Chains A and B, each alone.
Chain A
């Protein structure tokens, strides 16, 4: 199992020259994206350990391998832009601005957690930072995001709604209903598909004959494109172009990001259904390794800075774990008062 989970820099080939253009990245942007991705990676690797030692319990889904999508998208958003996510939401939450200590406390089921420990890993909400709903039912977030975008349309606001989903959600009815209505009512909604080629435990080929999600939405006529999710610069550029248009009220858009799900479907998944990737192959699919190599190659950062980013992320994770441990769970009385709004 250990070799399947994302390992650190050791796997990243330092010397490989990337043909990927710098994708319009400024050095400070690259640094911000790297910082964000390392925060997510270190957070999730710690979550895996805490899950093994039962300090995080229940159902946990990691996003190791798709940090580039979370960072490339969310770091361009404002707090009042809404993000709707799903069961694999840690990265989206952290990139959107949710404080790491409160996300960790939530996973540990503590009252200082984002949702006071009542939601857990699959139901992260941080209204203050525009993380409006992460749902545990695949695709359940899609129509909610469309409603949120309709609110912006009704208000004439320039805020934008983003919904993250996997390719597994596309074969469900709520995807088609939502795409149809979003197109019909021209909602300022950006669909961001993290297409990791796996729906839970089975490959895409077992679910559909349609090659890409972009093909599925083609008849609706809105703008769509496929980018490599491990190329965070490409994700950022493509999303940024849609975001600029959506700010003027245009939409919807689909950004399909091909990604690799490094971890299992859930934490503890034995993954008997697929072979482990070779390290060299993973290095190509790891958005962190790729951007780090690019940044060093362009001289945006040096090796020492790269190590410092990781160390800082790890230190933040340590503080977050301690923050969680210091917080008690919610009392039954406090929780009972939250069933209904009064």
Chain B
């Protein structure tokens, strides 16, 4: 049975269920359950639910050691940018140990962080920096865009035997949606078709999925039938689903909140250019954040970000209908 709950509640529900299901799951981070009255502390005790100091390198490095010793830690990092101070552990230790050890060890851990909080939080708490992680062999990166996926991908991340960067979108945490009750797992690496269509493929991630769906609704009024695909994870990336869609529509627009040259969009564009070129009837169009630090000023913040109008405009361009509408 599904019922409507917010995205953030879905994330927490998954953590609670996984901790109940598997006693090797531990959860810690800055400001996690500071009170002993916290339901997680009540349920699982202070051994498994810990407050850590502001020490990202130690927090993440300890998760690696815990994982090597048979635990499944979830580290609360709050903001994706806070992982930057611990990049050696995130990108150079956790994901490489299995391979460098010739497969002797596994490193199951979840790095949980929010991202993309473009709501006046200025230049250092708003980034969509997922390709910094997605480019690292050995890491997995998931970007849930719905409450149901927020739950199902957290469960999958905890159960995965690899390090997973779990990025929840801070502009979506209060969004409500249908979420299945009980244990619910969304396999990592399977894209979701959010809206089927025949004329153009729009691939969007995280917060831009909603923007792409709004654009698709507007375009429907113009007789344009857009298909919206949400990859849900960037590593692994479900290229077969995207290529199948492009084969059908012949047109591709990529919406991404990341800056253009560090976007998932640019990676997908390269893959389609190499593997789906013969399907394309027009050049690929990228609708990303501009290559700038996210500004504090509200109009400037909106200026650098993609939105539904920019996405719709890009669709009109690739379909050659831009001038007719303008």
Interface residues of A (CB under 8 A from B): 82, 84, 113-119, 123, 125-128, 132-133, 135, 137, 140, 142-154, 161, 173-174, 177-178, 180-181, 184, 330, 335, 337-342
Of the candidate stretches B48-56, B239-247, B271-279, B286-294, the one touching chain A is B48-56
Check B162 for interface membership: any CB of A closer than 8 A: yes
Which chain B residues border A335 with CB–CB below 8 Å? Answer: 99
Check B37 for interface membership: any CB of A closer than 8 A: no
Q: Of all chain B residues, which has the CB nearest A106?
A: B102
Which chain A residues border B53 with CB–CB below 8 Å? Answer: 177, 180-181, 184
- Knowing A125-B105, A340-B162, A341-B161 touch, does A146 contact B47 (C-beta < 8 A)? no
B68/A144 in contact, CB under 8 A:
yes
A174/B102 in contact, CB under 8 A:
no
B69/A339 in contact, CB under 8 A:
no
Tell me how many residue pairs across A and B have CB atoms closer than 8 Å. Answer: 147
- Knowing A115-B104, A132-B68 touch, does A341 contact B58 (C-beta < 8 A)? no
Which chain B residues border A152 with CB–CB below 8 Å? Answer: 69
Of the candidate stretches B86-94, B123-131, B167-175, B209-217, the one touching chain A is B86-94
Which chain A residues border B98 with CB–CB below 8 Å? Answer: 338-341
Interface residues of B (CB under 8 A from A): 26, 47-48, 52-53, 55, 57-71, 73, 88-89, 92-93, 97-108, 137-138, 140, 161-162
Which chain B residues border A82 with CB–CB below 8 Å? Answer: 68-69
A339 to B101 CA separation, bound complex (whole angstroms): 10
Q: Which listed residue, A113, A135, A142, A184, touches B102 by the CB 8 Å rule?
A: A113
Which chain B residues border A173 with CB–CB below 8 Å? Answer: 57
Chain A nearest CB: distance from B34 CB in Å?
15
A137 to B86 CA separation, bound complex (whole angstroms): 12
Q: Of all chain A residues, which has the CB nearest B52?
A: A181
A137 to B65 CA separation, bound complex (whole angstroms): 16
Q: Which listed residue, A117, A151, A340, touches B65 by the CB 8 Å rule?
A: A151
A140 to B68 CA separation, bound complex (whole angstroms): 15
A154 to B70 CA separation, bound complex (whole angstroms): 11
A339/B138 in contact, CB under 8 A:
yes
A143-B57, A161-B65, A340-B98 known; 11 new pairs, CB 8 Å cut-off, are A125-B104, A143-B62, A144-B65, A146-B58, A154-B48, A154-B71, A174-B58, A177-B57, A180-B55, A338-B102, A339-B137
A181/B62 in contact, CB under 8 A:
yes
